[in-house]
Amino acid sequence: MEDAVPEMPVAEEEPAPEPEPGSEPVPAPEDDPAAPAPLNVPRTPTGNADVDAALDRLGDADHLATDGHVEVYEDVHRGLRDALTALDARPGPPVPPSQHGPRS
């Protein structure tokens, strides 16, 4: 004769609590249309490391709320301005000597 194994009672799941009247459910972040979302704007490398780094920084705004964009944009603007200033500060190629003799 085999020993009978008693059946374990199955716990019933309690239903989720009903939301209070007048309260709206909070959407999940991926369902929230106001949540930050990448713009997926392509950025083509320029060949200038400073400019490319500044443009890559724009991708940081993709994950921020709109009020955080200003800081990123100002940082990128500063980086681009510095890159342009650096171009002006570099000495240019040497000027070739004049082929015409001195004028009197």
Per-residue pLDDT of 32-48, as tens digits, reads: 777 777 777 788 899 99
What is the pLDDT at residue 98? 72
- The whole-angstrom separation of Cα 65 and Cα 93 is 46
Judge whether residue 20 has pLDDT over 70: no
CA torsion, ordered 71, 77, 83, 85, to nearest 10 deg: -120
Whether the per-residue pLDDT at 29 is higher than 70: the answer is no
Q: For the segment 38-83, what is each residue's pLDDT rounded down to a tens digit?
A: 777 788 899 999 899 998 988 888 888 888 889 999 999 999 999 9
Of the candidates 90, 91, 72, the one whose C-alpha atom is nearest the C-alpha of residue 80 is 72
